[in-house]
Amino acid sequence: MDPLLKKIVEAAGISGYEKEIAAIMFAELKKSCDEVKIDDFGNVIARKGKGKKKIMLAAHMDEIGFMVKHITKEGYLSFIKVGGIDDRILPGQRVVIKGKNGDSLGIIGAKPPHLQSEEDRKRPVKYEDMFIDIGAKDKKDASKRVEVGDIAIFEPNAGILNGRLYYGKAIDNRVGCFALLKIMEKLDVDCEVYAVATGQEEVGLKGARTSAFNIDPDYAIALDTNIAGDTPQVTERESSLKLGEGVGITLIEASGRGVIVNEKMKNLLIDTAKKNKIKYQIAVIEGGMTDGAIIYMNRAGVQTGVLSIPTRYIHSPTSVFSIDDLESAVKLTIKAIEHLAV
């Protein structure tokens, strides 16, 4: 696995607390861009090139996670979720609490099924009834390492599952961030290209709103992940995207509540992929949105496309994707920008 990709995937940065991943994106974008800044909202905004047109690329850098809400007298941590997380996956998961005095490893606990009533066992355990165990003796001991308001992430992990299939924490959307870096490294066009690592996408596409208003681009492309359908119990009707079959070209999100890609941008992306023999898949999405949903409504409207990397087990401690699909996303984005810059 590319060391930079591993570093990005394992970095901490839940919504609103993206400082660690933002610092990495800032340092890497400085290597290839003419100007890089972190705005007041926390977005990392880089600019490269000169020309009449402005093209914005967006990849959100925040991840789902947790925040400490309360410390019990016994030293256990109550928490809230930040972003969309299925409660059913949480019991037994390892997390890392990012305290001011350093990291603390924790395990999410719940009442054992052996001690639950028959009625309790029929219902999924809610996160409000769970806790994080950091091995503390009591509240005083826990408070030496953790405070209310500290953030927590799933335990970092990243690597190669098999061949071209990779796994890791926060694949949504650190693969998009990695693609953003690779695109800016290779790009050489006569226009202004803005690469934005946006914040707080997982809680309302907020960073895309503020950065798009500031940049006011002529065109935009959002880079994100999408739900792969090549696993048991997911039908092709629900998702036909498959790992290794190419970058996803999104036509519509959330049945129209998200971005609806216009005909011009749709045809541009598909024709460019065909012309350059870049593997692609068409994504028609009934649920979920990307930064593109906010960017394309900026000011008087922005022609916006969405390119996605099919991913298994999104919003879980470990997701899986194909490095080939990531590379297809990089190639198609560059070729599309070259066309838009003319």
In a domain, 99, yes or no: yes
For the chain (length 342 residues), average pLDDT per consecutive 10?
98 98 98 98 97 96 98 98 96 96 96 77 88 98 97 98 98 98 96 98 98 98 97 92 98 95 97 98 93 97 98 98 98 97 89
pLDDT at 258: 95
In 3D space, the residue among 90, 169, 86, 174 whose CA is nearest the CA of residue 132 turns out to be 90
Residues 268, 291, single domain; the answer is yes
In a domain, 330, yes or no: yes
In a domain, 282, yes or no: yes
Residues 121, 252, single domain; the answer is no
Residues 305, 258, single domain; the answer is yes
Q: Where are the alpha helices (DSSP H) in the chain?
A: 3-10, 19-30, 118-121, 139-143, 171-186, 206-215, 263-275, 292-295, 323-340
Give 278-313 pLDDT, tens digit per residue.
999 999 988 889 999 999 999 999 999 999 999 999
Distance, CA of 79 to CA of 102 (rounded, Å): 18
Residues 185, 93, single domain; the answer is no
Q: Would you call 201 a catalytic residue per the annotation? A: yes
Catalytic one of 201, 202, 253, 327: 201
DSSP code for 205: S
Residues 280, 204, single domain; the answer is yes
Q: The CATH number of the domain where 122 resides is what? A: 2.40.30.40
Distance, CA of 148 to CA of 222 (rounded, Å): 34
Identify the domain boundary among 131, 154, 177.
Answer: 154
pLDDT at 75: 98
Distance, CA of 183 to CA of 269 (rounded, Å): 16
In a domain, 75, yes or no: yes
Residues 72, 40, single domain; the answer is no
Residue-number span of the structural domain to which 130 is assigned: 65-154
Distance, CA of 195 to CA of 217 (rounded, Å): 11
In 3D space, the residue among 321, 233, 242, 239 whose CA is nearest the CA of residue 279 turns out to be 242
pTM of structure: 0.96
pLDDT at 94: 98
pLDDT at 115: 72
Residues 224, 334, single domain; the answer is yes
Based on the structure, what is the number of domains in the chain? 2
pLDDT at 121: 75
pLDDT at 314: 96
pLDDT at 114: 79
pLDDT at 130: 97
Residues 80, 58, single domain; the answer is no
Q: The CATH number of the domain where 188 resides is what? A: 3.40.630.10
pLDDT at 113: 78
In a domain, 196, yes or no: yes
Identify the domain boundary among 102, 128, 154.
Answer: 154
Burial class (CB in 10 A: 0-12, 13-18, 19+), 173: buried
In a domain, 162, yes or no: no
Identify the domain boundary among 154, 183, 208.
Answer: 154
Residues 231, 329, single domain; the answer is yes
Give 20-66 pLDDT, tens digit per residue.
999 999 999 999 999 999 999 999 999 999 999 999 999 999 999 99
In a domain, 85, yes or no: yes
Distance, CA of 230 to CA of 166 (rounded, Å): 15
